[in-house]
Structure 1
């Protein structure tokens, strides 16, 4: 009889402990926005941008102001944060591995790490194995998410109903005669709200991908109306030729557009000016600002649902973008380059009790840090294959430091980002060095300045060690 009672007590204690552990698990929400650069209010990327919901989210948590993608194109970037691996370990550096004329001998795809993981699995799979309810909707992966999870929602198809016949350089219309409820990101937000409100005995991991401001720049007309074309401000530019002090490799990169010769012999920037001068440029800026305000509104619907239904658990929110975007800076458009504007992303973390609300952290972090951070928030073991570092220590201690983040555009084109400096190392041995404290727009390449020789030497060493590691 004593043994029976003892066994019963052990079982009850075990069940109680398991129940307590489940109750202690955090709900985790990961939001990724497509092609969103620093044009949000709290980052000050453009003075006319309207992002009240993202700004409010940042006021509740920590804005990491020096966060970067690991590859400045959708596919390789998303593969890095999904698997926690650098491009050199995934083998994917570009959306399309097409050799551009200025590329030298570096391979365009394939693993270059010495000891790559054999069977890496993404964080959705890992959290399924950790007894989480896992759901994912919208554009999270580049293509369909292949993980076997509890619920998936593919990015909705776009509806076209334009207010006028004007098209941009990509032959895409702009303002639409649509209600928000007819648009893709609205539908993604509604799916996310529905999944959030579903009852579950398990803690929840949710990933939600919003598509705008990715092209085509099509959103309801009301969002365009908030940014009258005649009032649009172009990106800030120096009074001199910003390409003059770049090496030839950098100049070629500035004139390229994600491995496409769209308007040959003109570049994208030259073609915009050819179509309508600065007015056409302003139309592109207006379109991008309208798309940002639209997606901020849809994200706001979901964030309001999180606030209204806390689900009885602590909730952690991470919001970021897959990479930055250029709108004429250095005469470059789109993504696919290694300058700050192209790789820098919004990165907001709301983790109650871990840090002061409304703070800004300037330590260099990148997307490979997301997977281990999610594990730390959930209190689950980290897979052995992860190459990033959890940012939890930076949240707990505002004085904690990071050395550098690394961004790849091919295995031998590497940007090294420290708290203050960026060095871009190209495969032909040339490079660019920028002091972001003095030159946040990267107008002055300091690579040949003898005063920065030691900093340059150190960062070249870091880039080469990263490439060969």
Structure 2
């Protein structure tokens, strides 16, 4: 009888242990399930001025707007170095260019340094990057890679996968990137949360639209930006650049006026079925129109501006449409409930302001980049974030969102509290440093500071000079106030803050230059 009682107690104890273990396992599974998935949609050169959520009247972007309206929009999201590859290196490392080593485009990223997807993997995430990466190397920390080599092509693009195999995919690059992303999402390990970068080539130069978008804006006449005919008075760097729609933008290559459809490597990738409508539109319509008008002077410049915007925004049409396809997939599969969706561009871009295209400068249109984020149940719909957020903050925020430890070496901070509407101490200044000179656009290297009201910048290299702008009085940054009477105290204060930022972010090269030539 005692023996039977002993066995029954033992069985009860084992049963309780089993129940406890099952409960713990279930709790672990729930905890794992509760960790959000993240999809980071990352475009190239897509300006906030071309997004209707940012108040743009140039085009409608309903799917990007949807992310913003269902979550948060960052109004002052700035970059540390306004150029494509370095921006992606900053996303991966959470560090400035001088520390991650990727200061210039077309270099090779140091894959031996820590990147934040490695931390996500340690936390049980599966990770992938599909589409444009533009780092000259394949970083660690990603379970799956299928990326465009270099800048990639708009039509029938090549991709390099995790095995270093190069495969050509048929179709338009924005559609291909979405298809590959959906394929990966469908085949992923459903037992793990995931992090996915969807890297788009759009809206990068030379702005080749998808066939359904040819002529999408032909009936629109875009207003000239107020600074379109900037005379660059008092601003040496603005005067000496090589990025104007007037002189730098090419009729043949950029605007497809009498493009070389036989010898050009771009059009040799087209199938006959793709080349015909492209040829009919650009050669038989646009080029004939150009020839008939015999344009010169300001009329020619403004015609080029109109064609630039029509092509650029037509490329953006496909980008937004594909974002909508991805959002629809998340809705249909139920993934939307626990998936953070982010849309961002690698930096800002000029849409004719100052007569320019491209980026690089610390000035507003180049410095600020779009960033919208949705996380149901965590980020309240319609949240507006006006604080100065930098792209060094992106990686720490992604790690914070997933409950992953943020490495001490990262220079940014998580802005998750701002997304939740919390009042927390936050940066009052953002530091910037651009390096690439003289090619391709002859923008002098410079470092500077952006505050809520002011931009202070020091250009160096062949020429050495300062600029100061009061953004509350001069948002277009046309009036250089450096050395102006009445701004002495403000200039001294900003220079002190600039030096503090250099020390904080360990930009010793810039600090040495500043101290040797104050």
- Fold conserved (TM > 0.5)? yes
1:224-273: CA deviation from partner (whole Å, max 9, x where unpaired): 4221166233333277x441021x34533xx135xxxx99xx95169998
Cα gap change, 1:7 to 1:196, in 2 (>3 Å): same
5+ residue gaps, structure 2, are 1-9, 157-169, 256-295, 437-444, 507-518
Separation (CA, whole Å) in 1 of partners of 2:359 and 2:317: 20
Q: Which protein has the larger Cα radius of gyration, Structure 1 or Structure 2? A: 2
2:190 to 200, 203, 207: 200
Secondary structure of the structure 2 residue equivalent to 1:442: coil
The answer as to whether partners of 1:132 and 1:204 remain within 8 angstroms in 2 is: yes
- Deviation (angstroms), 1:124: 2.1
**Retained in 1: the 8 A contact 2:378–2:420?**
yes
Distance 1:312 1:334, change over 3 A: closer
1:74-113 equivalences under 5 Å are 74-95=84-105
Cα distance, 1:73 vs structure 2:
1.2
CA deviation map 1:86-134 (0-9, x unaligned): 112112222158xxxxxxxxxxx999xxxxxx95322222212211121
Aligned residues: 423
Tell me by how many angstroms 1:377 deviates: 0.6
Q: Tell me how large the CA RMSD over aligned residues is.
A: 3.3
- Summarize the Cα distance change of 1:159–1:295 in structure 2 as closer, same or farther, 3 Å threshold: closer
1:268 and 2:248 matched:
yes
Mapped contact 1:79–1:141 kept (Cα < 8 A): no
1:283–1:229 Cα change, 3 Å: farther
**Aligned partners of 1:307, 1:3: CA distance in 2, in Å?**
45
Q: Secondary structure at the match of 1:268?
A: coil
For residue 152 of structure 1, give the secondary structure of its aligned residue in structure 2: strand
Q: Does 1:60 align with 2:49?
A: no
Within 5 Å, which residues of 2 pair with 1:22-171?
A: 22-38=32-48, 39-45=50-56, 47-95=57-105, 120-143=113-136, 145-155=138-148, 158=153
User: Is residue 2:410 matched to residue 1:386?
Assistant: yes
Give the whole-Å Cα distance in 2 for the aligned partners of 1:281 and 1:143.
Answer: 32
217, 221, 229: which one pairs with 1:227? 217
Other-structure match for 1:167: none
Partner of 1:326: 350
**Structure 2: how far apart are the matches of 1:225 and 1:74?**
28
Residues 296-317 of structure 1, C-alpha deviation per residue, up to 9 Å, x if partnerless?
A: 1122111221222223852212
CA drift of 1:10 comes to 5.6
Map Cα deviations across residues 355-395 of structure 1 (whole Å, 9 max, x no partner). 43123221111111111101111011112221101011211
Matched position secondary structure for 2:335: coil
1:13 is displaced (CA, Å) by 4.6
Contact preservation (8 Å) 1:123, 1:371: yes
Q: Conserved in 2, the CA contact under 8 Å of 1:30 and 1:319?
A: yes
Deviates more, 1:75-84 or 1:408-417: 408-417
Deviation at 1:221, TM superposition (A): 4.4
Deviation at 1:399, TM superposition (A): 4.5
Unaligned runs of 5+ in 1: 98-108, 112-117, 162-180
* TM-score, scaled to structure 2: 0.73
Match of 2:364 in 1: 340
Distance 2:368 2:190 in 1: 36
Change (3 A) 1:296 1:211: same
